[in-house]
Amino acid sequence: MKRECLTIIGTAHVSEESVNEVKDAIYEQHPEVVAIELDRGRYIKLKKQMMGIEEDEEISVTRIIKENKVGLFFTSTLLGYFQSKIGADLDVAPGSEMIGAIEASEDLEIPIALIDRDINTTLQRALNKMGFIEKAKFTFGLLASVFGIGDDDEIDVEDLKNPDNLDELMEMFKDEAPSVHEVLVHERDAYLAGRIMQLPQDHVIAVVGAGHKPGIERYLDNPETMPDLRDLEVTNEKRGIPWAKILLAMIPILFVVIFFLAYFSGINITWNIYEFIIISMIMGFIGSILSGSKLISAIVGGLVAPLTIIHPLLAAGWFSGLTEAKFRKVRQSDIKNLSKIESFRDLWDNNIFRILLVVIGTNLGVSIATLVILPSKVFIPLFMKIFGG
């Protein structure tokens, strides 16, 4: 790729003007290759959309829960909703400018280069870098956008292509969720620039989101600052000592230790064990049923609650969610229909939301039992007996 022969078009992803700008540039310049900000998965999805192929395949929520990817699925679903909602409001489908680039390239028989990182890798890296508080703030911000909480001012999508506006928007995003900003913006700037530099053709048109254009140009102008792209594809990065996870794991260990100390001190712990089991089961059941689960899902959540409290790698919500997924089949249309949600009632009728709510509700009920009820009702009284209080 020759830098002087490269044209980077910064687009708003839900803009009709961006579609026309992309097509006009390709037809006028007739480049050797058109590089687009898509990974293979999203490219295939857009191609099927262009061919009018409507898919409504079942999504394996069971696999998502078993592989502990609920957070990843939840985040990608909310982000997809957010973009689809903007597109629906503007009567422009998300990805229309990429479709325009594909159509013009195919019309002129110009090869297409997919230069974006796999979306799952990007989201997983973002989640890996986020702390608990940052995840909570980020999730609340997305949910607030879903329910229309906050600033009601209308946004002109074309204004988002203005560098000054973008700088201000990115700075706000950086303040709210710096880890997400780092992965979604800076890392992808580097990745996109690196993939463009690897293109063997000289004359290139690159179609990217307007927010990435300044960063890509900085890397292309200063290639010595470019990180190794292989490092940006790693999702199992080694982090510092996970103190929060260690502390949470210590709680069930502490429970077991107190039981053993009481037993070896000659204290009758039979009733305490019964209390532990009953309270755990009741709170798991209540948390599940209040989140709108089926009765059988709540029963399953309650039955496994005592075991999941003792085992730090298990969560009662996984089991109630897996059971709920047997009754509520999630399909591609459930994700697509998220953009049509106008009220909480619409959200309540969506199977994705209901299953995730059951997982969260059950875990919340068991967490209340673990952190509040069981210590005060079972373990602190036992501790006092052991040490003669």
What is the C-alpha to C-alpha distance for residues 11 and 18, in angstroms, rounded to an integer?
5
Q: Report whether 32 contacts 204 (CB < 8 A).
A: yes
Instruction: Examine the pLDDT at 92 and tell me if it is beyond 50.
Output: no
Lowest average pLDDT, out of 8-22, 132-146, 196-210, 322-336, goes to 132-146
Best mean pLDDT range from 207-216, 247-256, 288-297, 379-388: 288-297
Where are the alpha helices (H) located in 291-386, listed in sequence order? 295-310, 316-327, 332-336, 344-348, 351-368, 374, 380-386
Model's pTM, two decimal places?
0.66
Q: Report whether 85 contacts 94 (CB < 8 A).
A: no
Find all residues with CB under 8 Å of 308, minimum gap 6, and list them: 314, 315, 316, 319, 366
Instruction: Examine the pLDDT at 346 and tell me if it is beyond 80.
Output: no
Instruction: Examine the pLDDT at 171 and tell me if it is beyond 60.
Output: no
* pLDDT confidence of residue 107: 95
Instruction: Examine the pLDDT at 179 and tell me if it is beyond 50.
Output: yes
Confidence of residue 362 (pLDDT cuts 50, 70, 90): very high
DSSP string, 75-95: HHHHHHHHHHHHHHHHT--TT
Q: What is the dihedral of CA 97, 101, 104, 105, to 10 degrees?
A: -170
- The residues with which 206 forms a beta bridge, in sequence order, are 8, 35
Confidence of residue 299 (pLDDT cuts 50, 70, 90): very high
Mean pLDDT (the chain) is 80
Summarize the confidence of residues 263-283 as an average pLDDT: 92
Instruction: Examine the pLDDT at 155 and tell me if it is beyond 50.
Output: no
The DSSP code for 19 is: H
Which has more confidence, 252 or 85?
252
Instruction: Examine the pLDDT at 86 and tell me if it is beyond 60.
Output: no
Instruction: Examine the pLDDT at 312 and tell me if it is beyond 80.
Output: no
pLDDT tens per residue across span 216-254: 999 999 999 999 999 999 887 656 666 666 777 788 888
Summarize the confidence of residues 112-139 as an average pLDDT: 80
* pLDDT confidence of residue 41: 86
* pLDDT confidence of residue 68: 67
Which has more confidence, 60 or 163?
60
Instruction: Examine the pLDDT at 292 and tell me if it is beyond 80.
Output: yes
Instruction: Examine the pLDDT at 28 and tell me if it is beyond 90.
Output: yes
Nearest to 90 by CA among 25, 191, 159: 159
Confidence of residue 26 (pLDDT cuts 50, 70, 90): very high
Find all residues with CB under 8 Å of 44, minimum gap 6, and list them: none
What is the C-alpha to C-alpha distance for residues 199 and 35, in angstroms, rounded to an integer?
9
* pLDDT confidence of residue 368: 94
Return the percentage of the chain with pLDDT > 90, whole number.
37
* pLDDT confidence of residue 58: 65
Which has more confidence, 337 or 6?
6
Which has more confidence, 381 or 16?
381
DSSP string, 209-241: EGGGHHHHHHHHH-GGGPPPGGGGG-SS---S-
Joined together, the tokens standing for residue 94 give: 């998300």
What is the C-alpha to C-alpha distance for residues 89 and 242, in angstroms, rounded to an integer?
42
Cα–Cα distances (Å) from 50 to 112, 183, 312, 348, 388, in that order, read 16, 30, 47, 31, 75
Number of alpha carbons in the 13 Å side-chain half-sphere of residue 165: 10
Q: Report whether 87 contacts 39 (CB < 8 A).
A: no
Burial 122-133 (b: 16+ CB within 10 A, else e): bbbbbbebbeee
Instruction: Examine the pLDDT at 185 and tell me if it is beyond 50.
Output: yes
Lowest average pLDDT, out of 69-73, 103-107, 151-155, 196-200, goes to 151-155
What is the C-alpha to C-alpha distance for residues 204 and 8, in angstroms, rounded to an integer?
8
Amino acid identity at 248: L
pLDDT tens per residue across span 319-329: 999 999 888 88
What is the C-alpha to C-alpha distance for residues 263 and 136, in angstroms, rounded to an integer?
40
Confidence of residue 141 (pLDDT cuts 50, 70, 90): low
Instruction: Examine the pLDDT at 273 and tell me if it is beyond 60.
Output: yes
Beta strands 112-114 and 33-36 are: parallel
Instruction: Examine the pLDDT at 167 and tell me if it is beyond 90.
Output: no
* pLDDT confidence of residue 77: 67
